[in-house]
Structure 1
């Protein structure tokens, strides 16, 4: 049996006909880190709040560690669900020391037990020497670790984190992805994280749940989701991609598109006729003897790679340029003609 079960959960807000969350079902194993990923308004934060008990679902079932916390309008209050919450702004008490912030939720513990547990979790997050300091004396990354320590202190069944990296600058953000994941793994804690950033989701998650307009689009590991997106929305939301329409060939292994024939990673079992193909930019490899040829329309330098927009020859003048990721050391000029091949492993059929 799954550690957390969410079955057919929906949420309607007053005077709004469309549900914020529509028939969401999800099973989470103990110790698993799950990320709810999607644009603003997709229902991910509402889902997190329903799990926490801050919002009551309109219908459905939620159970945590074998205990039903919502069913048929009957809801267990948040404080009895065994939930640890890390808010987007950390919500630390500025007038309390770090130690007292961590001890705040340990209401039924003795003073000796509180101090011992605070010391334990501060050691876990690498801040054992900061107990006597105040939140304003810590950096953003340190404050985040304090918030995580406070959430872990009561030994909750699950940790919920709402946009935990959004207030951090780029360099610190990358470090904190690693630190938070390491802390959760070491504590063997089940966690559900909400973010709109694909890099955050892929860096910390065992599985990612992509949502759009309250509906789950795909649940998969980061690698599976990136390489095999289920539909156009997922393909575009979890990274840049080239989307082409085409017709499946009789060999069930190739697709004829407006830019030519493209090889699929695997042979299909049946002919499905017209299809849509997703091709990741890094799957387009520049080569002097490449099968596909086009003129460079634009080059954008990103630091790690060059984003090259190539207009291929086609009878259809409305075809969008193909995006290629090229090595930064390659000298590519706008207006030049280049050739490239497409790696089948980074090609996927999408709905």
Structure 2
């Protein structure tokens, strides 16, 4: 049995006929790091708050470990659910030292045990030397680690983190993804993180849960979700992609599209509809010498990202279609208006709903 289970959980706010969360089912294993990913208003934060006990579901059942924390007959208060919470703004007490902030949730412990545990988790997050400082005397990344230490101090069953990286600049954000993941792994803690940022989700998660309009669209590892998105929404939300419609050929391995025939990574089932949609990742389009590729087009726009060039290419085989997005190495000299040839890597093609 899974460590955390949400079964048919729905949430209606006020008199709305449209649920903020709609019949959600999710199982989470002990020690797993899960991210709820989706746009604003998709229900991810509401799901987190229902698990924490800050919001009461309209219907459904929630279990943590061997304890039911919510069903039609009971609802445990937040303080009895064994949950540690890291808020978006960290919610540190500005007048308390780092050590006392961490000790705050240990008020039922003996004084010596409180101090020992606070120092233990501060050591875990690499801030033992900052115990006597105030929150205003440390950086944003350090404040985040203090908030995580405070959440871990009571030895919770699960740690919940709401947009933990949103207040950090790009460089610190990348470092904190690694630091937070490393801390959670060392503590062997089950964690659920909410974010709208695909890079955050992919960097820290064992599995990612993509949500839209209160409904789970897909649950998968970052690698599987990127390479094999279930539908068009997931394909576009977890990175750029090219969406094409075509006709599945009789060999069940090729799709005839307006830009030409595209080879699939796997044979499809005969039950599949003849008309299919394809997701083709930009890095799946490999530029070759002009005239040597299966596909040819004229470069309409070039955007430099620093890591690669993002090309927008009008296909010669279908000038009326949307430009294909292709990633090219940064050292290739590609000019707007030039003609390029490319092939499509089969393993970065996926049939989507």
On the 8 A contact 1:294/1:339 being kept in 2, the answer is yes
Aligned to 2:332: 330
CA distance in 2, matches of 1:226, 1:197: 14
Q: Is the aligned partner of 1:295 residue 2:273?
A: no
CA distance in 2, matches of 1:111, 1:66: 30
Offset of 1:66 from its aligned partner? 1.0
State the Cα RMSD in Å: 0.7
On the 8 A contact 2:296/2:317 being kept in 1, the answer is no
TM-score norm. by structure 1 comes to 0.99
Offset of 1:107 from its aligned partner? 1.4
Q: Is the aligned partner of 1:307 residue 2:310?
A: yes
CA distance in 2, matches of 1:216, 1:28: 14
CA distance in 2, matches of 1:275, 1:51: 38
Offset of 1:216 from its aligned partner? 0.3
CA distance in 2, matches of 1:12, 1:314: 49
**Equivalent position SS for 1:95:** coil
On the 8 A contact 1:59/1:73 being kept in 2, the answer is no
CA distance in 2, matches of 1:316, 1:277: 19
Aligned to 2:142: 142
The 5-angstrom pairing of residues 84-103 of structure 1 reads 84-103=84-103
Aligned to 1:6: 6
On the 8 A contact 2:7/2:60 being kept in 1, the answer is yes
CA distance in 2, matches of 1:283, 1:262: 12
On the 8 A contact 2:276/2:352 being kept in 1, the answer is yes
Offset of 1:314 from its aligned partner? 3.6
Q: Aligned residues, how many?
A: 350
Offset of 1:315 from its aligned partner? 5.0
Structure 2's unaligned 5+ residue stretches are none
Aligned to 2:213: 213
**Equivalent position SS for 1:174:** helix
Aligned to 2:264: 264
CA distance in 2, matches of 1:92, 1:230: 40
CA distance in 2, matches of 1:58, 1:29: 25
Offset of 1:73 from its aligned partner? 5.0
